[in-house]
Each structure stands twice: as C-alpha cells, then as structure tokens.
Amino acid sequence: MRKHLAVLACCLIASAGFAACGGGAQKKSNLPATMGSAPPGKTVTNDSGQQVGISDAPSSVSNVPVAERPKMNESARGPYMQALEAFGRGELDAAKKGFQEAVSKDSKAYQAYYSLGVVLERLRDPDALTQYRQAFTIVTDYEPAITAYGLALARRGNTSESDQFLTERHAKMPKSAAVTAALAECKSIQRDTGSAQSLAQEALKLNPNYPPAMVTLARDHYRNRRLDLADYALTAILDGVDAENPPRDKENPEARLLRALIYREQGNRPAAIRELDQVVKVRPDLVDATVQLATYYLEAGNADKALPLLERALKYDNSDVTAHLNVGDCYRLLGRPQDAKREFDWVLAKDSSLVQVQYDLGLLYLYTPNYPGMTPTQQTDLAIAAFEKYQAARTRGATGPGSDVEELILRAKAKKALIESNAAAATPAPGPSGSSTPPAAASGKAPAAASAAASAAKAGTPAASSSAPK
C-alpha cells in the first residue's frame, strides 16, 4: 500500500472541511523525509514546528484494497514541490502556477490536481471543483479529493448536492473513515445533529484515532449550543480524560480553535488568546484563528502586533471582510489614514450592510489630526454622519463594541462647535470707530460655545474600534 503526503490547506471552523494540498513527491527542502510517516488523518510538521502536511494514506482498515495510484513523473515533481513550498509561504498565485505546470507535465498527477483545487478554492475560483473531480477520477478512492469536493459544495451553500454526493460515496466506500466523517460534517452543517453524531461515531468505529471525526463531534455540539458537551469532547481530544484515556490528538489546531471560540463566549479572554496563539504557530493558513487573535490584540490597541497577523491572513484569503476591516483599523491607529480609508472602502464595496465599517470610519475622521484634502469641519461632518449611520443600524439597547456611539456623536459635535467658534473668534469684527477688534478680546471672555466645546473635546481617544471577531 503506497502512502503519500498532503499539505494542509483550509479547515474553517464556521463551515468546516478538511481540504488539503496533495502529496506523493519525494523529499525536498523542509518537507518530511518519510512521506506518509504519520498515521491516516494525523499531521506532519516541518523544522519550524508548523504543520505542513497530513498523511493521505487511506483512512480505512489496512485490509481494505485501494485503487492503484500512479507515481508522479520526474518532470512534474519539480514544479509540484515548488508549488507546495509557495503555498506554505502564503504565495497562492505562485502555488497555482506551479500546480498547473505539474498537471501539464503529468496528466495522471492526481495529487497536483487536488492541490490545485485547494488553491483555487482559496482564491474563490469555481474551477476548484473541477480539479477535485479530476483527482478522484484518476484515483477513484482518493479520499482527500472526495471529501474536499463534497465539503466545498457545502461551503458554497449547496448542502443538498453535497449530501447526495457524499451519501453516494459513503455507499461505495462504507469502510472509509474519511468519507463517513465528511458526510457527518455535511449533516451537521444542515443542522441534522442526530445523523451527524451517528456518522461521526461510525467513522471512529472504523478508525478510533481519526482526528477529523473527533473534531466533527465537538463542532456539531458547538453549532447546536451544547457547549458543555463540546468542551467535554475537546477535553478528550486535547487533554485526555484520565490515565487510561490519554489525549487523542493534543496539538490538533481545529480543536484548539474551537476551544478558543468557547472561551471567547465565556468571556475568558486570556485562555482564548492562549489557544489561538498555539493555533497560529502551527497553522499559519488557518485564517479564522489568525483573524481572531489579531482582533484581540487590536481591541487592546496593539496595532503593531495585530497588523502582521492580519496581513498573513489575507495572503491565504484575500476576501476575508473582517481581516480587511481590522487592517483598516490598524492603519488608523498607526497614523496611516489614507491606507485605512482604502481598506474601509473595500469593505463597503464588498458588503455595504456591514455596519461596523461606519463606526470605524467615524473614528478615522474624528481622531485623524489632519486628513489629507479635508478641512477640520469636513472631517467632523463626516465623522458625525458615519456615527449616525452606525447608530441607526445598530440594534437598540445593544451592548459591547460600539455601545459608546452616542458619546462619540456628542464629542464630534462638540469638536465641530469648537472649530467653528475658534474660526469666528479669529475673524476680526468692526469696532465702534471702524477698527477691527476680536469679539473675545472686547468682552474679556471666551465664547460660551467654545468653552463648552473645549471641555467636551478633551475626552480621550479610544484605543481601537473593538471590531468583534467573526
């Protein structure tokens, strides 16, 4: 039985999946010397401790026959390995080009077709499904391509089609833990929790140590708000229950991400950050974890620490709206207002219903000392307009991020009054004999509006917009 390597790609907690770049080539650079050195479903790390791959050996029991797998030819192996390394750096365009070159040199390179599908899915290219299908057309029982195809359909909202496809494959491959676990994930996405739990347990009977099935059990509990059961399942995966039941997969990044989400809901910020920090160290491609960790830093006003994380996340998913929104807020805090505005405009063009961007725009206009090409009055007018749009769309009585919008509107109006008062005070007024005497000097008192505005405008600037994690 030939074993191969699959380089990790996407495993999003919200939509779920275990798509990964394909393997099967020989050692090069930081890739493991023994391809398929991990058991089915387990991970492989590079010298830096990052998870670069999982074994794509069949997940079924060892005595189940598998289809013959063609060996990638020499001319395709070079660009294929270069593409894998490019993917590891987040250079998706280079990875795409390399995988395309590999399949052009070897029409039977099923791993390259699959890997190309992973990259195209990241790039939101609908041709990803074609590449997955080509991979399991060449090797009919190639589980990574089968599961990726089915779950890609589910991620696109085609859950009925996904269910039908995976159900048919499950009937043909009843001893495949991978296909069974993928069907369980599809059922969970459809909110059919009974079927999801039953199928995940079935997958674990086929392979008691298959991590994706374990995580699916916990994720289904989480989706259905059974947080205590989700936490118990995660404890079994990451910590173990007792001496006789040690942790099943203590470094599993998807399980740690899920635990971080539970900690966040419980208000346990330090524990959530600790889990997310572990995830991003081993899975730089796991965008959800990276964005959420960066959001925590941004909420604390640490834009210097948040920005590199967000920029890395956008390498793997340039369409992530929350990442762009928070990058804009980083630029605002770092004194780069025009870059911030560019990011906020991108978000508005992508999703004009996202009300948080109006709050962030308000902060940008209110607290930028001198926005290029605008007068101070224009800035405050735009700040007030943005805050009022946010206030109108925000749920009445809502708490949390953005609940200070009324205070910010008052602050912006006070700042505008101060600007106008100072401008009026600076304009000479005709004296009794035609001389020009500033009104404040003539009365010996500061204008009342200016005094009140100055007092209100002394309030401090918030550290960040506190954009909520996805």
Q: What string of DSSP letters covers 112-132?
A: HHHHHHHHHHHTT-TTHHHHH
Nearest to 169 by CA among 179, 178, 160, 161: 179
Cα–Cα distance for residue pair 329/364, rounded to 1 Å = 8
Q: Cα separation of 182 and 11, whole Å?
A: 12
Question: Do 303-425+441-457 and 5-285 have the same topology in CATH?
Answer: yes
Does pTM surpass 0.95? no
For the chain, give the longest Cα–Cα distance.
Answer: 109
- State the Cα–Cα distance between residues 420 and 377, nearest whole angstrom: 8
Instruction: Enter the tokens of residue 217.
Output: 């059990």
Name every residue whose Cβ is closer than 8 Å to that of residue 115 and which is 6 or more positions away in sequence: 7, 9, 21, 22, 80, 83, 84, 87, 95, 99
How do the pLDDT tens digits run along the chain, 470 residues long? 333 333 333 332 233 333 446 554 333 333 222 223 344 444 555 555 555 455 677 787 555 566 678 999 999 999 999 998 899 889 999 999 999 999 999 999 999 999 999 999 999 999 999 999 999 999 999 999 999 999 999 999 999 999 999 999 999 999 999 999 999 999 999 999 999 999 999 999 999 989 999 999 999 999 999 999 999 999 999 999 888 889 989 989 999 999 999 999 999 999 999 999 999 998 889 999 999 999 999 999 999 999 999 999 999 999 999 999 999 999 999 999 999 999 999 999 999 999 999 999 999 999 999 999 999 999 999 999 999 999 999 876 565 677 899 999 999 999 999 999 988 888 776 666 555 555 444 444 444 444 444 444 444 444 455 444 34
For 413, residues 6+ apart whose C-beta sits below 8 A from its C-beta are 380, 384
CATH topology of domain 5-285: 1.25.40
Under 8 Å between Cβ of 431 and 395? no
User: What's the token pair of residue 279?
Assistant: 């995830």
Domain ranges across the chain:
5-285, 303-425+441-457
Domain 303-425+441-457: homologous superfamily in CATH: Tetratricopeptide repeat domain (1.25.40.10)
Task: Identify whether the C-beta of residue 362 lies closer than 8 Å to the C-beta of residue 456.
Answer: no
Query: How far out from the chain centre does Cα 284 lie?
Result: 10
CB atoms within 10 A of CB 422: 15
Which has the closest alpha carbon to 23: 64, 56, 59? Answer: 56
Strands (E), 31-156: 43-45, 51-55
Specify burial of residue 290 (Cβ count, 10 A radius: 0-12, 13-18, 19+).
Answer: buried
Angle of helix 356-367 relative to helix 321-333, nearest 10 degrees, comes to 10
